[in-house]
Every structure is written in C-alpha cells, then in structure tokens.
C-alpha cells in the first residue's frame, strides 16, 4: 500500500513541479518583487541587528558572517520522513518542512508533531498542491488555511511560511498570504528528485548548485532523496556551510506576511 501511495504522490508532483529556469520565467511576469536573505537581514531595525551581533546566545547563528544555507523539504510528510528526522538529529541539522495537508499532514500527524518537537520549522505547502496562480482568492485561501488549521491542531502553532506549488505565484497569492500571516519562500537549488531515484545524482545536483545564503529544495516523499541527505550534509559542512532554518537565514530580519523570499 505504501508503494502505491508513494507512486501516486510521485505521479502527481512530477506532473506539476518546475525547473529553476521555468520558475524564473514565471516570476518575471508575476509583478512581485522578491527579497534575498541578505536584503531581509539588512531590513531589520538597527537595534535588532546590534542585539543579534552582540547576543552570543548558545546555538545562535549570525548569517551575516557565517556561511549559511537552508535545507528545505516539500510535499511531505510521508513514509520516509521519520528516517529523515533520524538523520537530521544525528547530523545536528534543523530543516524547514513545507507540508502538504491532504494525505500527508492528516495521515502522519505524529511525524508532524515529532518534527516540530525536534526544532524543525513547520511551513505550509497548501492542502492539495494545486497551482495557486490559477485559483480565485477564495480557493487560494482554502488551500492555505486548511493546512494552517491542520498543523495548528497538531502542533499548537500555525505556520508563518509557505511555498507555492511549482513556485507559481501572483498578486492574488500575495494578498491572501498577507491576510493569513504567511511569507512566500522559493529556492536556489533543486535536484529534480521527482524524476530520479539515483541518490548519487541527487547529491551531485545539489552540491553543484549550493551557495551561500542558498535555499535547497528536496522532497522527502521520493525513494532516492532521503538516502542522499547524509552525503549532502557532510560535504556542505566540509565546505564550511552552517545549516539553518529559513527564519534563521533571514534573522535578525523577520519574514513579512505576503513578501516573497528567494536567494
């Protein structure tokens, strides 16, 4: 049954996911300005920047000086997610999970609860992975709010970040996300792991695209992805990267509802 579920998920997502090049073309016509992590940090009030620079809190990361990168996972949770959480715990890495509601959050509530309890950022990837730029505002609101409420019922908190399916967004999406208190987050590195089970290839693709202030996009629902994660983490750590969640990447700036963030 799990194999059939995974195959169904793979078919649905592969039909809709876009490459980085296609994403760039889409966003060029959406009329929205995007904000980079560096710009987000620079937009923080001066007193916040000074406080962050002098805080020295245990575990705090200053991405203005550290070589930071954010590891994010879309379209879960799924059968592979508990193993992924084991790996992240072993490697002492926190990730950002953009979760789907239907057949994911509602099917694996204990996995959602565990991810939140272990310090990962829980974010929204809609209820059914429909392209938001093709929907009316009420439909956009439903897609996002259903997942907001499902996550809140499990963790006690509503997400503050969302990722539009395929990266497709427009001014209606901006307005609804602002209303719901959600910031839009895109990416800079993707492995197209929906079209291969070759973990070595997934690792190679990510390492070739990795850069400072980058946001890595992977999918923990595919068979080849989770086995690639240890090698990705180990190599990027060897290259001097510090893994952070998306909010940590933007800190001391805070994600602004409706804003679009991408490296």
CB atoms within 10 A of CB 228: 23
CB atoms within 10 A of CB 92: 10
Torsion angle (degrees, nearest 10) of CA 19, 13, 222, 71? 50
- Residue 80 designated active-site: no
- Residue 125 designated active-site: no
Per DSSP, helices labelled H in the chain are 2-16, 20-28, 37-42, 46-55, 81-91, 109-117, 137-155, 171-180, 199-209, 229-238, 246-250
Is 129 strand, coil or helix?
coil
Catalytic residue among 33, 74, 80, 195: 74
Structure token pair of residue 255: 């994600």
Catalytic residue among 80, 145, 219, 220: 219
Query: How far is C-alpha 171 from the chain's CA centre?
Result: 21
Integer Rg of the chain from CA: 17
Q: What backbone torsions phi and psi does residue 8 show, to the nearest 5 degrees?
A: -65, -45
- What whole-number distance in Å separates Cα of residue 253 and Cα of residue 110? 31
Is 141 strand, coil or helix?
helix
Active site residues: 74, 219
């Amino acid at each position: 049954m799990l194999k059939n579920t995974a195959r169904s998920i793979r078919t649905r997502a592969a039909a809709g996911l876009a490459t980085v090049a296609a994403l760039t073309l889409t966003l060029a016509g959406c009329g929205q300005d995007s904000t980079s992590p560096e710009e987000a940090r620079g937009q923080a009030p001066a007193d916040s920047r000074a406080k962050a620079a002098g805080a020295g809190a245990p575990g705090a990361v200053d991405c203005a000086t550290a070589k930071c990168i954010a590891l994010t996972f879309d379209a879960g949770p799924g059968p592979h997610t508990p193993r992924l959480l084991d790996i992240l715990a072993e490697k002492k890495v926190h990730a950002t999970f953009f979760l789907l509601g239907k057949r994911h959050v509602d099917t694996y509530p204990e996995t959602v609860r565990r991810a939140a309890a272990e310090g990962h950022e829980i974010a929204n990837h809609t209820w059914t992975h429909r392209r938001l730029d093709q929907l009316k505002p009420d439909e956009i609101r439903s897609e996002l709010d259903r997942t907001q409420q499902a996550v809140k019922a499990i963790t006690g908190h509503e997400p503050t970040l969302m990722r539009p399916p395929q990266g497709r967004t427009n001014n209606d999406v901006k307005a609804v996300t602002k209303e719901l208190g959600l910031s839009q987050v895109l990416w800079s590195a993707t492995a197209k792991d929906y079209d291969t089970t070759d973990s070595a290839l997934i690792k190679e693709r990510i390492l070739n695209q990795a850069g400072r202030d980058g946001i890595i996009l992977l999918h923990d629902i595919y068979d080849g992805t989770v086995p690639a994660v240890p090698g990705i983490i180990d190599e990027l750590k060897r290259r001097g990267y510090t893994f952070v969640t998306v909010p940590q990447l933007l800190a001391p700036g805070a994600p602004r509802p409706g804003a679009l963030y991408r490296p």
